[in-house]
């Protein structure tokens, strides 16, 4: 057993970390050098068991877009869920119908016709891919954009990363550091169409590469993919598990990148922390799956549907997307100011309220997470562990205020001066 993470002066948290190491395998979670132990959360703040206060720059991995303990969300959630069972497998509740109709309507484009529920993003990806493969069983080839993260299990894991053990998976390039013209990517796609004529079922991509280090492509890239899919009758799947519900400055990232996917996979922020995901898109694809072929125990349960409805209500009533859009230039300006001040910050990438801050190397990124956590005495900033080794993701709740953002930037300025 590896030694648990410990921090000086954190008597209570260290005790919990030791107990966790004794009872739960370390593979349960991704690595973070802080392993913060939280006892309370409200709005954009977290409180540790040892009494420290942290500004959250994670939204609990882009889940809690409305912040923690949002009063209106919690009130509406309780009202929607009242009297309903926690699980309604093979039963129908009016709330599930209402949630599905509202979710489809919220996407607001012609291909958003029907949906499937899922309990996690990876399950949603799996169901979207099943739908495309079932519609064309004679087409086994699946295309994914290189560097994506769609999940660890099953087909979602097969199309994650840069290589696959699945012999039917092929990868095409996603714009990262290189600056190739559109013709470069078009040639890759056309080469696959020529190599596998009428054999490709789907192409799956993310709006931006989150786990790879927050790479946001030029606006021509996704329309190029969509046009190729339409030309060859290939299902175009947009993985919005982490980008849906306002994160890029629009309600959905397909709006930001000006495409109309055949299937959109939603997750994380769509239920503000309650486990829920969905696939929304063309009816002919969704209906290619027969009874039981997309079923699982917890998908579309009443609590998930209550959270979806409550989240949509808050977005509509409080102008969450508009607030995100207004905060985006403030965030970018603040992060660029940090880059200009610290030589170890090499790049800042992002949009809306999701950014990647690329450090000199892995060791520096790790140190920056720790120093942000230590902060200035009682106040720190909470990051996830570095992405792709040396990139810090900045993804606070979409309700963050100018004052809170300024607080966080001041803490980071002081903390990173120690690096």
Residue 236: strand pairing partners? 203
| Long-range CB pairs of 104-111, under 8 A, 24+ apart, other chains included | 104/280, 106/251, 106/312, 107/252, 107/264, 107/280, 109/254, 109/260, 110/260, 111/260, 111/261, 111/262, 111/281, 111/282
Q: For residues 220-224, give the mean pLDDT.
A: 98
Give the pLDDT band of residue 377 (cuts 50, 70, 90). Answer: confident
- DSSP per-residue string spanning 55-77: EESSHHHHT-TT-BT-HHHHHHH
User: What class is the 11-69+319-416 domain?
Assistant: alpha beta
Instruction: Specify the pLDDT at position 3.
Output: 82
CA distances to 47, 115, 342 from 260, rounded to whole Å, are: 41, 15, 40
DSSP state of 419: -
Instruction: Specify the pLDDT at position 291.
Output: 95
CATH number of 87-300: 3.40.640.10
What span, in angstroms and rounded, lies between the C-alpha atoms of 170 and 23?
Answer: 39
**Of 339, 332, 330, 407, nearest in space to 375 by CA:** 407
Q: Is 154 left (phi over 0), alpha (psi -120 to 50) or beta?
A: left
Instruction: Specify the pLDDT at position 1.
Output: 56
Q: For residues 43-68, give the mean pLDDT.
A: 97
Domain ranges (residues) in the chain: 11-69+319-416, 87-300
Mean pLDDT over all residues of the chain? 96
3-state secondary structure of 200: strand
Share of the chain above pLDDT 70, in %: 100
Share of the chain above pLDDT 90, in %: 96
What span, in angstroms and rounded, lies between the C-alpha atoms of 8 and 232?
Answer: 59
3-state secondary structure of 78: helix
pLDDT tens column, 25-40? 999 988 899 999 999 9
Q: Is the dihedral of CA 88, 91, 95, 96 positive or negative?
A: positive
DSSP state of 161: B
What span, in angstroms and rounded, lies between the C-alpha atoms of 377 and 126?
Answer: 45
Give the pLDDT band of residue 387 (cuts 50, 70, 90). Answer: confident
Burial class (CB in 10 A: 0-12, 13-18, 19+), 295: middle
pLDDT tens column, 226-275? 999 999 999 999 999 999 999 999 999 999 999 999 999 999 999 999 99
Residue 239: strand pairing partners? 265
Q: For residues 8-21, give the mean pLDDT.
A: 95
| Structural element, H or E, at residue 407 | helix 402-416
Instruction: Specify the pLDDT at position 378.
Output: 84
């Amino acid at each position: 057993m590896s030694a648990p993470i410990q921090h000086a002066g954190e008597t209570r948290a260290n005790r919990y970390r030791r107990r966790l190491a004794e009872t739960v395998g370390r593979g349960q979670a991704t690595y973070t050098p802080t392993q913060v132990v939280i006892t309370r959360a409200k709005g954009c703040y977290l409180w540790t068991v040892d009494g420290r206060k942290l500004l959250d720059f994670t939204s609990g991995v882009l889940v809690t877009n409305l912040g923690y303990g949002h009063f209106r969300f919690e009130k509406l959630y309780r009202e929607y869920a009242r009297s309903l069972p926690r699980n309604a497998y093979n039963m129908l509740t009016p709330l599930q119908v209402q949630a599905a109709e509202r979710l489809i309507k919220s996407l607001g484009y012609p291909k958003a016709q029907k949906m499937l529920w899922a309990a996690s993003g990876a399950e949603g990806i799996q169901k979207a891919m099943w739908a495309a493969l079932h519609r064309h069983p004679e087409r086994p080839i699946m295309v994914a954009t290189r560097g994506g993260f769609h999940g660890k299990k099953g087909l979602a894991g097969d199309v994650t990363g840069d290589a696959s053990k699945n012999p039917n998976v092929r990868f095409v390039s996603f714009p990262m550091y290189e600056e190739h013209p559109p013709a470069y990517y078009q040639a890759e796609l056309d080469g696959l169409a020529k190599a596998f004529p009428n054999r490709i079922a789907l192409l799956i991509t993310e709006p931006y590469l989150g786990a790879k280090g927050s790479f946001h492509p030029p606006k021509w890239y996704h329309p190029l993919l969509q046009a190729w899919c339409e030309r060859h009758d290939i299902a175009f799947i947009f993985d919005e598990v982490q980008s849906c519900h306002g994160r890029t400055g629009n309600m959905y990232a397909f709006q930001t990148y000006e495409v109309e996917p055949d299937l959109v996979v939603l997750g994380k922020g769509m239920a503000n922390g309650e486990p829920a995901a969905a696939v929304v898109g063309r009816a002919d694809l969704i209906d290619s799956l027969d009874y039981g072929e997309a079923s699982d125990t917890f998908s579309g349960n009443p609590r998930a549907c209550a959270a979806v409805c409550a989240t949509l209500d808050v977005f509509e009533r409080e102008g969450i997307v508009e607030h995100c859009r207004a905060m985006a230039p403030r965030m970018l300006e603040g992060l660029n100011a940090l880059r200009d001040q610290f030589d170890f910050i090499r790049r800042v990438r992002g949009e809306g309220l999701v950014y990647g801050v690329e450090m000199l190397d892995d060791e520096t990124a790790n140190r920056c997470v720790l120093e942000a956590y230590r902060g200035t005495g009682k106040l720190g900033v909470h990051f996830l562990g570095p992405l792709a080794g040396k990139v810090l993701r900045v993804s606070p709740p979409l309700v963050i205020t100018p004052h809170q953002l300024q607080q966080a930037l001041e803490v980071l300025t002081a903390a990173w001066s120690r690096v």
